[in-house]
Copies of this chain bind each other. A is one copy, B any other.
Amino acid sequence: MGRGRERLVGMASARAMYHQLADTYRAKIVTEELKPGDRLPTEQELGEEFNITRGTVRDGLKVLVNEGLIVPARPRGYFVRPHELSYVRPQAEWRKQPASPEMDRWMEDQTVLGRTPSQHISVEIIPPPAKVAERLGLNEGDLVVARRRIRYIDDEPFNLNDSFYSYDLIKGSEILNPTDIPRGTNQALADLGYEQVRAIDEVEARMPLPDEVNRLQLGPGNPVLVHRVTGFTIDDKPVRCTVNVLIGSKHVMLFERSKAVGGSVS
């Protein structure tokens, strides 16, 4: 029939019904009236609560799904998204000294404990992705070695770690082996005469690309944190570009700065 939305006589409200549903339940979730893990009413029940048909109910629920607030678990219903493991990811260079007791406890709480990590490594030789070519200063036709790792925790995908090296630089080296390199690829690079003494880090947030969705098994409403590292030799030659793709809900990057403090990290 398409009677449009329910307008309260004389009122200005014109919020679509499915938005009203989303607003209502979003509020319940952020105020923790509904806590992580709690079940929402069924689509049917919501339809009765708001006097709307199932299609409209689903429009409203889809909003919340895409905001990452709820997850559908058929045939058990919709659930407020549980808090996932939040892995604190300390950055190499920054010291991790005992901070205040509060901070320590807080760090402990969030650190991975008693989990079983695993990873899968593969190596390809490919034309570089645009951003990688840019950072490594490569030209049309140049090839790179892509050393790709998928990391799991308790068999759940956790993050991607793809490192790219100019093929010309490392051809014939062990970096091409799709196995773990105990002393680290950076050391291996150094042994080839390309020690890195400087790095540029880029961090951004975005929705995952199709490939990332597949590899990390991501659902809707799940952004990723992308951490790109470009390493330079003493001659300022870029020799490595690593792209870390971290599942947003499972990671917090953490680092620490001491004195110098120009203050305004804004």
Interface string of A94-132 (1 = CB under 8 A from B): 010011101101100000000000000000000000000
A26 surroundings in chain B (CB, below 8 A): 210
**Known contacts A100-B232, A256-B199, A256-B200: A209-B137 contact under CB 8 Å:** no
Q: Does A225 contact B (CB under 8 A)?
A: yes
Q: Does A2 contact B (CB under 8 A)?
A: no
With beta carbons under 8 angstroms apart, the residue of B30, B223, B230 that contacts A206 is: B223
Q: Which residues from 205 to 259 on chain A have a C-beta closer than 8 Å to any C-beta of chain B?
A: 205-207, 209-210, 220-221, 223-225, 227, 229-232, 236-238, 242, 244, 246, 248-249, 251-259
A63 surroundings in chain B (CB, below 8 A): 220
Cα A224 to Cα B242 with chains together (Å): 22
Most buried by B among A69, A200, A246, A259: A200
Contact B257 A201 (CB under 8 A): yes
Cα A40 to Cα B222 with chains together (Å): 25
Contact B30 A187 (CB under 8 A): no
Q: Does A264 contact B (CB under 8 A)?
A: yes
**Known contacts A99-B236, A207-B67, A207-B221: A255-B201 contact under CB 8 Å:** yes
With beta carbons under 8 angstroms apart, the residue of B68, B205, B221, B262 that contacts A93 is: B262
With beta carbons under 8 angstroms apart, the residue of B68, B95, B242, B265 that contacts A207 is: B68
Contact B66 A248 (CB under 8 A): no
A161 surroundings in chain B (CB, below 8 A): 266
A-B contact pairs, 13 of them (CB 8 A): A67-B207, A91-B265, A99-B200, A99-B262, A103-B135, A103-B238, A105-B264, A198-B261, A200-B254, A200-B255, A201-B257, A204-B252, A225-B225
Q: Which residues of A contact B (CB under 8 A)?
A: 26-27, 30, 55, 62-63, 66-69, 86, 91-93, 95, 98-100, 102-103, 105-106, 134-135, 137, 161, 184, 186-187, 196-207, 209-210, 220-221, 223-225, 227, 229-232, 236-238, 242, 244, 246, 248-249, 251-266
